[in-house]
A = this chain, B = another copy of it.
Amino acid sequence: MSPTQQARAPVRKGRRNSPAAPPDPSPTDVALARLAKALGHPTRVTIVRMLSAQGVCNCGDIVCQHPLAQATVSQHLKVLKDAGLVQGEIDGPRVCYCIHPETVKKLKALVGAL
């Protein structure tokens, strides 16, 4: 297409005046990216799968299943929790983690729609 009008957008970067504005990642895309990013580490995938299989685990159980320090596992759990993929419930001195089914369902729907 020869751009007979609008002289020549120099690099079309600032997307200032394009007649058809670039969509800018839709909320749906942002949501999927967010969930995918949370799953974007092998340890976190393993944790999710483990919770999916066993239903409920406390943090110590999860640490035992990984060659990582407790602080590191706790960080990964925080990432998964912030993304809404897992939820933690305080149970005495420990914390019981389990899958957040709705979010996982949403993830499956978003990926399925690709």
Contacts and interface: CB of A to CB of B under 8 A. Distances in A.
Given A22-B64, A40-B37, A112-B108, A13 B69 contact: yes
A93 interface: no
Determine how many copies of this chain the complex contains: 2
A14 interface: yes
Given A22-B66, A66-B22, A104-B114, A44 B40 contact: no
A18 B70 CA distance: 16
A90 interface: no
Interface in A26-74: 26, 29-30, 32-33, 36-46, 48-49, 52, 63-70
Interface of A: 11-15, 18, 22-26, 29-30, 32-33, 36-46, 48-49, 52, 63-70, 104, 107-108, 111-112, 114
